[in-house]
Amino acid sequence: MAIKVHGNPLSPAAQRVLLCLAEKDIEYEFVYVDLATGQQKKEPFISINPFGQIPAFEDGDLKLFESRAITKYIAYAYADKGTPLLVEDPKKMALIQVWSEVEAQRFDAAGQKLSFEILVKPIKCWATDEALVEQLQAQLATVLDVYEKRLAQSKYLAGDNFSLADLNHVPRINNLMKTKVRALFEQRPHVWAWCADILGRPAWQKVLAGLN
């Protein structure tokens, strides 16, 4: 099979890539990377991602890493398949880029650390830093306040259609929904409706079914 995803199915970054492939209805081979034995820090993995982090991706002779670069590649190279996730018009495309940057630089900057404190640390029997959790929740709330105003104006972040900017949020939101951080989403009606919409998409349900 031409397309391979190297990762761990529990990683939100790997799930981001799987979701993008599901929206595009593209077949792939999943190559399990055993993080417990540090497989991601050794060859052959580091010849794909020299930073030694999952996911990594192959499409024939093309080798990629960084989940958001991978989803952009899939959306661009397979534009004609499945759900359109990018657009050609430069001004509409620019809005997808803006909200994709917001996801990476603002939303997930807080979301990733919150997941680590609330979801990962308890599994490892490490103590959660409650002061940091408070600070990160305040940071995420500020981001969600902007989203609430934005989503009152358009159904999705970059306009009236679901795009890569929304897609990139899904795995992190899915994780945070299992925690007390869920309240931050519930308190904002437009954000809450948007979450229900993007988490309810058949492609995400298919990814979740594949994980179980």
In the complex, what is the shortest distance from the CB of residue 140 to its own copies, in angstroms, rounded to a whole number?
Answer: 13
Q: Of 142 and 205, which CB lies nearer to its own copies in the complex structure?
A: 142
Distant-in-sequence contacts of 61-70, Cβ < 8 A, 24+ apart: 67/13, 67/14, 67/16, 67/17, 67/168, 68/16, 68/100, 68/104, 68/168, 70/16, 70/17, 70/20
In the complex, what is the shortest distance from the CB of residue 200 to its own copies, in angstroms, rounded to a whole number?
Answer: 27
CA–CA gap between residue 39 and residue 18 (Å, rounded): 20
The total number of residues written for the chain in this structure: 212
In the complex, what is the shortest distance from the CB of residue 60 to its own copies, in angstroms, rounded to a whole number?
Answer: 9
* 3-state class (DSSP) for residue 43: coil
In the complex, what is the shortest distance from the CB of residue 50 to its own copies, in angstroms, rounded to a whole number?
Answer: 5
Q: Of 39 and 168, which CB lies nearer to its own copies in the complex structure?
A: 168
Q: Which residues bind its own copies (CB under 8 A)?
A: 50-51, 59, 62, 64-66, 68-69, 72-73, 76-77, 90-91, 93-95, 97-98, 100-102, 104-106, 146, 149-150
Q: Of 155 and 206, which CB lies nearer to its own copies in the complex structure?
A: 155
Q: Which H helix or E strand runs over 56?
A: strand 56-59
